[in-house]
């Protein structure tokens, strides 16, 4: 008997397949406000945020999303209090170490976008080990933006292009959208179809500015620690209702 795989899809998987939702990017905002609301220290909000991230990774894998990119720490976040920055760096490292085995066993490929060179050596080692360990995995592609800023990313790309022009590897006439994209941190990753921002703020915060030229943006007042499977599916349903014309009509 021949089994039609299409018939095995649940409703949300069918929706994603039909609307070609391939890549979701998330600005995970509201951890500190969630903690304040519950009269807890900000560290509790960040810890609760990790649980939401685990749920988002699991849900995206289950419903058939190919790429998930999350904003974990921006270049501007260095301006926060040293105690909070130190905790966030520690939390990032410990979370990756703790979850690596499970992610690897579930065929998740981990990539880091951002400037790793300014992070402490131990954290760099943890992140590079996660990248190497999961490099051959073929399931969900999980990109974690750490020490990431889109303007810095674009400046870095321009600098690399200039160096390659000087070295005679490319000509100035070669510069186009596709070439610039090839010099970004996200070189072999498709642009996001849907960008979700939790916490209610209505700005991109220097996140994937080049890549989000025609990304659909969904903003929810829900704080990140409260953002669960039902909230993610709500964002998907909103995406389906959008008419993506890409400037053609």
Structural domain containing residue 78: 21-149+191-240
Q: Given this model, what pLDDT does residue 249 score?
A: 65
Burial 38-54 (b: 16+ CB within 10 A, else e): eeeebbbbbbbbbebbe
User: Would you say residue 12 lies in a domain?
Assistant: no
Average pLDDT over residues 45-63: 97
- Give me the CATH number covering residue 198: 3.40.1180.10
Phi/psi at 204 (5° precision): -90, -15
Confidence at residue 8, expressed as pLDDT on a 0 to 100 scale = 53
- Could you tell me if residue 209 is inside a domain? yes
Q: Who has greater pLDDT, 173 or 8?
A: 173
Predicted confidence (pLDDT) at residue 216 exceeds the cutoff of 50: yes
Confidence of residue 9 (pLDDT cuts 50, 70, 90): low
Mean per-residue pLDDT over the chain, rounded: 94
Mean pLDDT of 146-160: 98
Give the pLDDT mean for 36-52: 97
Percent of the chain with pLDDT over 70: 96
Q: Residue 24 is inside which H or E element, if any?
A: strand 23-27
Average pLDDT rounded to a whole number, residues 19-29 = 95
Active site residues: 29, 77
Residue 164 lies in a domain: no
Confidence of residue 243 (pLDDT cuts 50, 70, 90): confident
Q: Is residue 158 in some structural domain? A: no
- How many whole angstroms separate alpha carbon 209 and alpha carbon 215? 10
Q: Are 216 and 197 in contact (CB under 8 A)?
A: no
- Cα gap 158→141, rounded to integer Å: 26
Tell me whether strands 216-219 and 194-197 are parallel, antiparallel or unpaired: parallel
| pLDDT for res 3 | 36
Q: What are phi and psi of 27, to 5 degrees?
A: -95, 110
Does the residue 165 lie in any domain?
no
First to last CA, the chain: 45
State how many domains the chain has.
1
pTM for this one? 0.93
What is the number of residues in the chain? 249
Q: Are 224 and 29 in contact (CB under 8 A)?
A: yes
pLDDT one-digit tens code per residue, 108-133 = 999 999 999 999 999 999 999 999 99
């Amino acid at each position: 008997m021949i089994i039609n795989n299409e018939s095995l899809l649940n409703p949300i998987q069918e929706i994603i397949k039909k609307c070609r939702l391939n890549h979701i990017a998330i600005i995970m905002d509201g951890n500190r406000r969630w903690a304040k609301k519950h009269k807890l220290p900000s560290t509790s909000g960040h810890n609760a945020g990790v649980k939401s991230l685990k749920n988002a990774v699991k849900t995206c894998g289950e419903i058939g999303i190919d790429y998930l990119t999350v904003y974990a720490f921006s270049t501007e976040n260095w301006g926060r209090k040293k105690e909070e920055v130190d905790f966030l760096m520690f939390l990032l490292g410990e979370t990756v170490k703790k979850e690596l085995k499970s992610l690897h066993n579930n065929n998740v490929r981990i990539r880091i976008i951002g400037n790793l060179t300014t992070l402490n050596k131990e954290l760099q080692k943890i992140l590079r080990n996660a990248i190497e360990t999961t490099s051959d995995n073929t399931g969900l592609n999980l990109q974690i933006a750490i020490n990431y800023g889109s303007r810095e990313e674009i400046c870095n790309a321009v600098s690399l292009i200039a160096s390659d022009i000087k070295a005679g590897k490319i000509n100035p006439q070669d510069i186009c959208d596709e070439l610039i994209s090839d010099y970004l941190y996200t070189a072999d990753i498709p642009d996001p179809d849907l960008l979700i921002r939790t916490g209610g703020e209505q700005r991109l915060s220097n996140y994937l500015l080049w890549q989000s030229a025609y990304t659909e943006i969904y903003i929810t007042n829900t704080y990140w620690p409260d953002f669960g499977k039902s909230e993610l599916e709500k964002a998907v349903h909103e995406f389906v209702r959008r008419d993506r014309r890409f400037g053609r009509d």
